[in-house]
Amino acid sequence: MRRHPVDLDELHAGRYHDRLVDLAGRLFDDAKDDPVDWCTVIVVSGRACDTVASYALHCFLEADGQRSKPRLGNGQARKVREVLRSKKTVNLKPKSQRASWAALSDDRITRWPDWIRYVRCVDRRNSVLREGLLPSRRRPARADAVEALEVTRSLCAHLGRVLSNEPLLRDRV
């Protein structure tokens, strides 16, 4: 497999989810039929999802501060900022992150058609990171990596559509 360097510091600076999605695709294309390769694709795809969710929340939080009447109160906005500054994963799976997302964007992410697949991919990625195995205790296969890439691309497209619907953020998409 070819090496694909990624500067992890760049991930926090902006739209680096696009680069991670591309990287995951290249890793998939270069993969041999080896569970380690599929693990790598699953993890990089998951990181792309985290990064796009973080980026979108940052954008909406910034736009909320520009509104004459913000959607979030000071306490809620402070909590979102703390999550975004912390080392915690932003993946919209936790109820508190979904609530903040819904308040800021008017999007009910659980109504997105790929929501259940996304939650499954988050769980797979976390299990692969901890144990190198899927939650079912089996080694990842090509189909798992395919699903991770599909869901990642779908999430990026969905969040991009939501961002483009916000007049204060159209230049961010």
Q: How far is CA 18 from CA 24, 48, 53, 106, in A?
A: 10, 8, 12, 24
- Is residue 57 within 8 A of residue 170, CB to CB? The reply is no
| pLDDT, position 167 | 80
- 119-132 pLDDT per residue, tens: 999 999 999 999 99
- 64-109 pLDDT per residue, tens: 888 888 888 888 888 888 888 887 788 899 998 999 999 999 999 9
| pLDDT, position 172 | 60
- 32-74 pLDDT per residue, tens: 999 999 999 999 999 999 999 998 998 888 888 888 888 888 8
pLDDT at 7 over 60: no
pLDDT band at 171 (very low <50, low <70, confident <90, very high): low
Determine the Cα–Cα distance for residues 79 and 100; give it in Å rounded to an integer.
Answer: 9
Residue 124 tokens, joined = 């797979």
| pLDDT, position 39 | 96
| pLDDT, position 173 | 57
> Nearest-CA neighbor of 53 among 163, 170, 135, 127?
163
- Is residue 93 within 8 A of residue 119, CB to CB? The reply is yes
pLDDT at 19 over 90: no
pTM: 0.86
> Nearest-CA neighbor of 42 among 156, 164, 158, 139?
139
| pLDDT, position 154 | 97
Q: How many other C-beta atoms are found inside a 10 Å radius of the C-beta of residue 20? A: 23
Residue 40 tokens, joined = 């790598």
Q: How far is CA 24 from CA 38, 58, 82, 165, in A?
A: 10, 23, 29, 27
pLDDT at 6 over 70: no
| pLDDT, position 72 | 83
Q: Which amino acid is at 34?
A: D
